[in-house]
Amino acid sequence: MLQTIKKSIASRKWWACFLGAIVPVAIGFLSDEVSLSETLVLSVGILGTYIFGQGIVDASAARNGS
């Protein structure tokens, strides 16, 4: 389990997802032009896309026996 977490944190996809989820929320707090609820929707969408994509990668690896 710990090995999987270390591998994920080293991934550029994970960091892009992390920043993609954090930046909209930060903008929501710092700016009056975008509501906080809109930024949360963006963040949840980014996280959901990452989880879905990672699930596809994991399923493909399991199917190929890797």
- d(C-alpha 65, C-alpha 51), whole Å: 21
- The number of distinct structural domains making up the chain is 1
Per DSSP, helices labelled H in 1-66 are 2-9, 12-30, 36-64
In the chain, the DSSP E strands lie at: none
The pLDDT tens digits of the residues spanning 22-59 come to 998 888 888 888 888 888 899 999 999 999 998 898 89
pLDDT for 13: 85
Work out the average pLDDT over 15-28. 89
Q: What is the pTM of this model?
A: 0.73
Task: Please say whether the beta carbons of 54 and 16 come within 8 A.
Answer: no
Structural domain containing residue 28: 2-64
pLDDT for 2: 77
For residue 66, what pLDDT band results from cuts at 50, 70 and 90?
low
